[in-house]
């Protein structure tokens, strides 16, 4: 067994782990990133791409926003559709000028990988049998296998950024963690295609046949979703079937203008809300999907991961400079306060835009809520403030 040391061991080389690593590089804090997948696998993952201004600012701060500033598409509003009508919700007009930016998570990951390649600190890909040890003490360490050789990494802190199915959260004793979860009775069938977007802004539709979403990755690439049964299979849907169903769920003025094309990717994602508390267990800190999952309706998952990294990097900087562990506990408190507010909005928007109850009363109440929030200045401001993201 070979043994090395660092200040912070980061588990997971997704956007959260790579962003934290780059921020710590800037702060002069040694770190090692350990990832069980290959870099090619990480870069191939297709995810959402609406960035809050706080996320854009963070990427600028760590030097990973060069392409984003050139290729990102600002969205000054979102659109809500129901009863064959479209109601625009101005973002900047209701938030003092704040907007969101369309830029794919895949592109964010590429930018972060390029930035990490210039770091003097290592990233270990295809690490096997990763396990976390003694994080309830002052001397935590990580064991992993690299090319058949078991290695030990001693550290001061472990940052768990390895997603919902990663090793970090499940390493915590059940008695030390409380989880909250809501599983929604539907999924999203998504299609990515090289066709111009039908709407210049994200459009959420509550239709008789179910929810639909129109979004973009660029001016030539679109991402569309329709609500489906969570047990449905991608193989049940041809491209033509998807396009036909999408059109049925959109107002006429939109469906008549959709340009169709072959899919680049189709997938079905279940929807859930999940939070684990606290986010700090001794010298182990959790961030991103390792700590919480939001339904994709409000495009908050990636943005919450970056707000976690913002708070975590501040806590790590304070801890490594003065050794006081209070900063680690404050990380959990600060991050969770924003997580719960964001979780509330994602839950609200999901319930507002989907149909999953046979009770006609429920649907009429949703329609009344849509009518209220789209005709009330207070309602428009509430949607806009939450959509652009809570302040850090």
Q: How many CA within 13 A on the CB side of residue 390?
A: 20
Quick one: CA dihedral 373, 378, 384, 385, positive or negative? negative
CA distance 230 to 175: 31
Which of 23, 75, 354, 366 is labelled catalytic?
A: 75
Q: What are phi and psi of 58, to 5 degrees?
A: -65, -45
DSSP track, 295-318: -GGGS-HHHHHHHHHHHHHHHHHH
- 146 beta partners: 149
204 is catalytic: yes
Q: Is 295 a catalytic residue?
A: no
* Sheet of 222-228, strand order: 85-90, 77-82, 203-207, 210-216, 222-228, 178-193, 263-277, 292-293
- Check if 41 is active-site: no
Q: Which of 204, 224, 225, 331 is catalytic?
A: 204
Residue 165 a catalytic site member: no
Burial class (CB in 10 A: 0-12, 13-18, 19+), 2: exposed
Please tell me the distance from the alpha carbon of residue 162 to that of residue 128, in angstroms, as a whole number: 13
Q: Is 324 a catalytic residue?
A: no
DSSP state letter for 129: E
Catalytic one of 23, 98, 300, 354: 300
For 320, the enclosing helix (H) or strand (E) is helix 301-322
H helix intervals, 153-278: 167-170, 239-248, 252-255
What is the Cβ-side half-sphere exposure of residue 126, based on CA atoms within 13 angstroms?
8
Choosing from 103, 144, 311, 387, the catalytic residue is 387
Q: From the candidates 278, 296, 311, 366, give the one annotated as an active-site residue.
A: 296
Catalytic residue set? 75, 204, 296, 300, 387
């Amino acid at each position: 067994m070979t043994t090395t040391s660092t200040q912070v061991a980061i588990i997971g080389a997704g956007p959260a782990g790579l962003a934290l690593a780059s921020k710590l590089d800037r702060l002069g804090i040694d770190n090692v990133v350990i990832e069980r997948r290959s870099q090619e696998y990480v870069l191939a993952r297709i995810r959402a791409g609406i960035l809050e201004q706080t996320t854009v600012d963070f990427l600028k701060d760590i030097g990973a926003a060069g392409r984003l500033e050139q290729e990102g598409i600002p969205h000054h509003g979102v659109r809500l559709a129901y009863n064959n009508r479209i109601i625009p919700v101005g973002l900047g007009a209701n938030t003092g000028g704040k907007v969101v930016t369309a830029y794919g998570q895949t592109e964010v990951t590429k930018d972060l990988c390029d930035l990490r390649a210039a770091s003097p600190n290592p990233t270990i890909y295809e690490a096997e049998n990763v396990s976390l040890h003694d994080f309830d003490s002052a001397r935590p360490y990580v064991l992993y296998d690299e090319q058949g050789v078991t290695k030990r990494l001693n550290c001061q802190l472990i940052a768990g950024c390895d997603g919902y199915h990663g090793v970090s959260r499940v390493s915590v004793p059940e008695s030390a963690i409380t989880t909250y979860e809501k599983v929604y009775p539907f999924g999203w069938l998504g299609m990515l295609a090289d066709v111009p977007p039908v709407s210049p802004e994200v459009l959420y539709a509550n239709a008789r046949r179910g929810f639909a979403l129109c979004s973009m990755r660029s001016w030539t690439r679109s991402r569309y979703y329709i609500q489906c049964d969570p047990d449905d299979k991608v193989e049940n849907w041809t491209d033509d079937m998807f396009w036909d169903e999408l059109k049925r769920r959109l107002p006429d003025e939109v469906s008549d203008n959709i340009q169709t094309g072959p899919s680049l990717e189709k997938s079905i994602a279940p929807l859930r809300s999940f939070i684990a508390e606290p986010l700090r267990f001794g010298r182990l800190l959790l961030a991103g999907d390792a700590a919480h999952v939001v339904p994709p309706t409000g495009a908050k998952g990636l943005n919450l991961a970056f707000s976690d990294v913002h708070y975590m990097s501040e806590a790590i900087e304070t801890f490594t400079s003065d050794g006081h562990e209070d900063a680690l506990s404050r990380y959990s408190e600060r991050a969770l306060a924003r997580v719960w507010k964001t979780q509330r909005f994602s839950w609200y928007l999901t319930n507002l835009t989907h149909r999953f109850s046979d009770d006609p009363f429920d649907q009429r109440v949703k329609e009344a809520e849509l009518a209220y929030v789209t005709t009330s200045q207070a309602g428009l401001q509430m949607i806009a403030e939450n959509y652009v993201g809570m302040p850090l």
